[in-house]
Amino acid sequence: MSVPSGFDELIHPATRLSVVALLAATEWADFAFVRDSLSLSDSAVSKQLHTLEEAEYLEIQKEGAGRKRRTRVRLTDRGRTAFEGHVAALRAIVQGAGPQGDGAERRDSRPAEAAR
């Protein structure tokens, strides 16, 4: 099976996919909201946000200074388009694996001993 158009290797890892999915549901999100919603450490969130920012999939906005510093993030149009394409590609993969997928006959994939 070939990889469907729109599948995005950058978004696909579970943590980044979770970040992008969370951001897709909102305009802007506070760093703390992302961290707490996904039960990640500050460093894990920072690493994923940095990777996505480098790809221009999200924008990071920092306001204030010191203890009152606030970091907000949002998906860019490019990031939103990539996410939507990736979700469509995942749906195509899942639908292709179903009983009506490619019309090929399905066989029991268990070893012969287990199938008895």
Q: What does the pLDDT look like over 54-67, one tens digit per residue?
A: 999 999 999 988 88
Q: What does the pLDDT look like over 41-99, one tens digit per residue?
A: 999 999 999 999 999 999 999 998 888 889 999 999 999 999 999 999 999 999 887 76
103 in the Ramachandran plot: left (φ > 0), alpha (ψ -120 to 50) or beta? left
Global pTM reads 0.79
Tokens 């290797």: give the residue. 9
